[in-house]
C-alpha cells in the first residue's frame, strides 16, 4: 500500500463543504449554494474518497449506487463520480490510487459487477479499463426544415402542456415501461427524479424554466412525455431567432412519439432545435421529410468498466448462442486476467475460468466497449484491438454481443 492509498478515506458530513469546494474548483465551477453546504439526496458519503493535505482536500471521488439496463437484463452499476485531483498533486499516482481502491473494493465486497462514468476528458480512463459504451448524437437543425412526413401516423391522442407536478408520475411510468428495453438506461428512483426535475434559475443560462408535455390517448392513458426549454433571442433586424433545447422525449408508441415531436417542431419564435442528449439511432430522423436537415455530432457517452468479467458477462443475455473462450488482458485488475469460457443464449449466460485454448484475445477495455451491444467486435478487430484465434470467432462473438436496440444513456451523473 502506498502513502496515497493509506490516506484515502470517505468524507464526513462536516467535511462536505471542503470536499465539494475542492471538487468544483477543479471543474472551474461555482457549486449551487445549497449543494455547497450539504450533499444532495443522491450522495453516498460512505462511498466517497478524499485525500487531504493538511486541512485542504486535494483529491475527490465518489460512487452512486445505480441500476443499469444491459442486453436482456438489469444489473447493479457503480456510478463513479466526483473524480478530481488538484493541479498541485497531479502526476503523483493519486488518480491511479483512487481508481484502484474503488475497483478493488467493488471486487472484494462482491458489489456491482460493472462500473460506469462520464469522462470529462477522453484519454484519462482507458488505462483503468474503462471504455465508451454509448454515444450521444447531439442533434441540431433549423426548425423550418424539420417537418414530419405527411404519412406519419399521429394517432388519435393529444399533446398537452402540464405542470411539473402532473408531469412527474406520468413520466415515471412511461420511462419505466420503455427504459427496460434500452441498454444503457439508468433507473431513476424518487431521489434521481428529484435531481432530474430540479430547475435552479441560476443554472438556466438564459433559457426559460423547464416546460413539460404529456401525450394522452383518447381514454386518458399517458403514452409519452417531453421536457424542453426555449432561449429567446432576436436578430439585429428584429427577427425571432429562438432556440428550443429538448431535454427528453420518450413514448410507448410511434404515434405518441411523432405527436410530441410535431408540437416541439412548431413552437413559435424558434429557429433552431437542439437535442443534446439524443440517441444516435433516434427514430426522429425517419419521421421527418428531410433527413439531412437533422445534423448530429456524435460524442462518447457512458463509459463502462467490467469489475468482474465472469459476473458481468453472465448477467447479460445474448441474442444468438455463444460458447467461446475469451483470453482477457486486464493489467489493472489482475483478478480478471486469463481465460474465460462464455456460454450464452437469449435466456441467460454463464462465464467461468477455463484452461481451454482461447478463441479470441482482447483487453478488458474492448469487452467493456462491446458489453451493451453498441460497439462491434469486428470493428475492434479491424482496429487491431481484438485478435481472432479460432477462425470465425469474431463473427460468432460479434453476433452474440450485438443487440437490436442501440444503447443510449441520457442520464449523466
Task: Report the half-sphere exposure of 411 (CA within 13 A, side-chain side).
Answer: 23
Helix (H, G, I), strand (E, B), or coil: what is residue 72? coil
168, three cell numbers: 412527474
* pLDDT averaged over 10-residue windows placed end to end, the chain, 413 residues: 83 95 91 82 97 94 98 98 95 95 98 97 96 97 97 98 98 96 97 95 92 98 98 94 97 98 97 97 97 96 98 98 98 98 96 98 98 97 98 97 96 94
pLDDT at 37: 85
Instruction: Tell the residue number behind the cell numbers 473524480, with chain if given.
Output: 83
Check: CB of residue 275 under 8 Å from CB of residue 140.
yes
| DSSP of 208-223 | PPPEEEEEE-TTS-EE
- pTM summary value: 0.95
Through-space distance between the first and last CA atoms of the chain, rounded to whole angstroms: 30
E-assigned strand segments in 107-221? 114-118, 131-132, 135-136, 139-142, 158-162, 211-216
Instruction: Tell the residue number behind the cell numbers 465486497, with chain if given.
Output: 109
Alpha-carbon distances, residue 317 vs 22, 115, 324, 348 (angstroms) = 41, 18, 15, 5
User: By 3-state DSSP, what share of the chain in percent is helix, strand and coil, each rounded to 5?
Assistant: 30, 30, 40
Alpha-carbon distances, residue 301 vs 184, 279, 326 (angstroms) = 10, 10, 26
56, three cell numbers: 485542504
Instruction: Please give the domain boundaries of the chain with CATH numbers for all domains.
Output: 3-112 (3.40.630.30), 139-299 (3.40.630.30), 308-401 (3.30.1050.10)
pLDDT at 1: 61
Q: Rounded to 5 degrees, what are φ and ψ at 75?
A: -130, 150
What is the set of active-site residues? 125, 413
Amino acid at each position: 500500500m502506498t502513502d496515497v492509498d493509506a490516506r484515502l478515506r470517505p468524507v464526513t458530513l462536516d467535511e462536505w463543504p471542503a470536499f465539494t469546494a475542492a471538487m468544483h474548483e477543479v471543474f472551474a465551477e461555482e457549486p449551487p449554494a445549497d449543494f455547497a453546504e450539504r450533499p444532495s439526496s443522491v450522495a453516498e458519503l460512505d462511498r466517497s474518497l478524499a485525500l487531504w493535505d493538511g486541512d485542504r482536500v486535494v483529491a475527490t471521488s465518489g460512487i452512486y449506487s445505480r441500476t443499469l439496463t444491459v442486453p436482456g437484463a438489469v444489473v447493479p452499476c457503480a456510478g463513479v463520480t466526483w473524480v478530481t485531483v488538484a493541479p498541485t498533486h497531479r502526476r503523483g499516482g493519486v488518480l491511479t490510487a483512487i481508481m484502484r481502491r474503488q475497483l478493488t473494493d467493488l471486487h472484494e465486497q462482491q458489489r456491482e459487477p460493472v462500473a460506469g462514468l462520464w469522462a470529462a476528458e477522453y484519454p484519462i480512463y482507458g488505462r483503468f479499463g474503462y471504455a465508451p459504451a454509448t454515444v450521444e448524437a447531439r442533434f441540431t437543425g433549423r426548425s423550418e426544415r424539420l417537418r414530419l412526413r405527411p404519412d406519419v401516423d399521429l394517432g388519435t391522442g393529444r399533446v398537452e402542456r402540464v405542470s411539473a407536478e402532473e408531469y412527474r408520475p406520468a413520466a415515471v411510468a412511461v420511462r419505466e415501461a420503455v427504459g427496460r428495453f434500452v441498454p444503457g438506461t439508468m433507473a431513476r428512483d424518487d431521489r434521481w427524479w428529484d435531481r432530474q426535475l430540479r430547475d435552479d434559475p441560476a443554472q438556466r443560462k438564459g433559457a426559460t424554466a423547464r416546460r413539460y408535455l404529456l401525450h394522452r390517448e383518447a381514454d386518458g392513458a399517458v403514452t409519452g412525455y417531453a421536457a424542453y426549454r426555449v432561449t429567446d433571442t432576436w436578430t439585429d433586424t428584429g427577427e425571432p431567432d429562438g432556440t428550443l433545447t429538448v431535454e427528453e422525449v420518450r413514448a410507448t408508441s410511434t404515434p405518441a412519439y411523432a405527436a410530441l415531436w410535431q408540437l416541439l417542431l412548431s413552437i413559435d419564435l424558434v429557429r433552431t432545435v437542439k437535442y443534446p442528449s439524443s440517441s444516435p439511432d433516434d427514430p426522429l430522423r425517419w419521421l421527418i421529410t428531410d433527413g439531412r436537415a437533422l445534423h448530429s455530432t456524435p460524442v462518447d457517452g457512458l463509459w463502462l468498466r467490467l469489475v468482474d468479467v465472469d459476473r458481468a458477462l453472465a448477467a447479460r443475455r445474448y441474442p444468438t448462442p455463444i460458447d467461446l473462450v475469451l483470453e482477457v488482458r486486464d493489467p489493472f485488475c489482475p483478478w480478471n486476467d486469463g481465460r474465460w469460457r462464455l456460454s450464452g443464449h437469449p435466456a441467460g449466460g454463464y462465464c467461468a475460468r477455463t484452461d481451454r485454448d482461447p478463441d479470441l484475445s482482447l483487453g478488458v477495455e474492448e469487452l467493456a466497449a462491446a458489453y451493451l451491444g453498441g460497439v462491434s467486435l469486428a470493428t475492434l478487430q479491424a482496429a487491431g484491438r481484438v485478435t481472432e484465434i479460432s477462425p470465425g470467432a469474431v463473427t460468432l462473438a460479434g453476433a452474440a454481443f450485438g443487440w437490436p436496440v442501440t444503447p443510449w444513456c441520457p442520464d449523466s451523473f
